[in-house]
Homo-oligomer: A and B are copies of this chain.
Amino acid sequence: MRLPKTVAALIEVFEKLPGIGPRTAARLTYFLVNQPDSLAKQLAAAAASLKTGTKLCGVCKNIGATNPCEICNDSGRDRAKICVVEEPQGLLAIENSQAFKGLYHVLHGRIAPTAGLGPDDIYLKELVARIKSGKFKEVVLATNADTEGETTAMYISKLLAATGVKLTRIAQGIPTGGDIEYADELTLRRALEGRRKY
């Protein structure tokens, strides 16, 4: 059986999105076929206007509604601290935690030699230029806690060593609600290494 053209077309677009395989793409598409037309229309409208309202911040490389972005423009922020994240989603997660009130730098990627991604593929020299301006006292490295995130943090720390800026790395340990019994060895080791006075 040949699929209706419009069904095949949407499946094909969905398959181009990360983490969506052929089966999920078909499931999402048929879900939309079975919903009132308005949901597909909402999706169409939102996708069509996605880029018109978004700008890459020229300062921190966050995706915002303005350039410079809302955070870079916010005079209430601690402008001596800068938090380095891999992606805008990481920035959002930290903002939602309300535990950081400084500025950000979004790398838009990570150093991943096995995937052919080197220092020049992310906004790294822009970060170095910002730090060398001397305006920052602390750089919080909040790249992910996986191999590539660690590599990236390590690379940045070496690049910035000569500037004398204080470098910190977000803590690794047992996640809140986590069970020690089920934690992997590396997480436990990091949790022990990072233990603090109680």
Question: Chain A interface (Cβ within 8 Å of chain B)?
Answer: 1-7, 9-10, 12-14, 16-20, 23-24, 26-34, 37, 39-55, 63-65, 69-71, 87-89, 91-92, 95, 108
Contact = CB atoms under 8 A, between A and B. Distances in A.
Contact of A13 (B16, B18, B39): B39
Nearest to A45: B44
B10 A46 contact: yes
A92 B1 contact: yes
Given A34-B108, A54-B33, A89 B27 contact: yes
Given A6-B51, A50-B33, A63-B30, A1 B70 contact: yes
A37 B71 CA distance: 25
Contacts of A65: 2-5
Contacts of A87: 30
Contacts of A4: 53-55, 63-65
Contacts of A3: 65, 92
Given A43-B13, A46-B10, A70 B2 contact: yes
Contacts of A7: 50, 53-54, 63
A169 B64 CA distance: 55
Given A33-B50, A47-B32, A63-B33, A89 B1 contact: no
A135 to B, nearest CB: 20
